[in-house]
């Protein structure tokens, strides 16, 4: 019996139904044991807020790079001169969670792409622009 895919609450990637989860599919929240072990931290919610803040300051339809949010959060955490490189993947995950929440879209070369499979440089824009 196939069920609707879910979104991992940490990384924002799509979770496909598996037979082994048949009895407890409703309780599945994470795509892997790595995501389950890490959990959503304060920095993850800070990255989501930074993405939304940056987008709110841009004209409609304009994109930001997740690296901008990573840099903003790294600097706000007091890391002088930190460019946020260590927060790049968490920033991409924050963008995927915002896609799942319906707030933003992930685009490449002007086209909306599946956040779970997007490779390379991505842009994030408010949904509906």
In this structure, of 16-20, 40-44, 72-76, 105-109, the range with the lowest mean pLDDT score is: 16-20
Task: Report in angstroms the alpha-carbon separations of 33 from 43, 58, 113, 122.
Answer: 20, 37, 26, 26
Q: Say if residue 47 is in the same domain as residue 66.
A: yes
pLDDT in tens, 11-30: 888 888 778 777 888 888 88
Looking at the structure of the chain, the number of domains it has is 2
Tell me the pLDDT band of 126, cut-offs 50, 70 and 90: very high
pLDDT in tens, 39-71: 888 999 999 999 999 999 999 889 999 999 999
Q: Say if residue 106 is in the same domain as residue 122.
A: yes
Q: Say if residue 57 is in the same domain as residue 104.
A: yes
Q: Say if residue 57 is in the same domain as residue 31.
A: no
Q: Say if residue 107 is in the same domain as residue 51.
A: yes
């Amino acid at each position: 019996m196939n069920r609707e895919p879910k979104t991992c609450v940490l990384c924002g990637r799509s979770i496909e139904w598996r037979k082994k989860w048949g009895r407890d599919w409703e309780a599945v929240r994470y795509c892997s044991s790595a995501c389950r072990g890490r959990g959503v931290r304060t920095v993850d919610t800070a990255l989501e807020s930074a993405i939304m803040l940056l987008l709110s300051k841009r004209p409609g339809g304009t994109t930001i790079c997740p690296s901008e949010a990573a840099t903003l959060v790294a600097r706000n955490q007091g890391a002088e001169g930190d460019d946020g490189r260590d927060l790049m993947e968490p920033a991409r995950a924050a963008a995927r969670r915002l896609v799942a929440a319906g707030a933003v879209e992930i685009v490449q070369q002007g086209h909306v792409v599946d956040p779970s499979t997007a490779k390379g440089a991505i842009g994030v824009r408010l949904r509906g622009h």
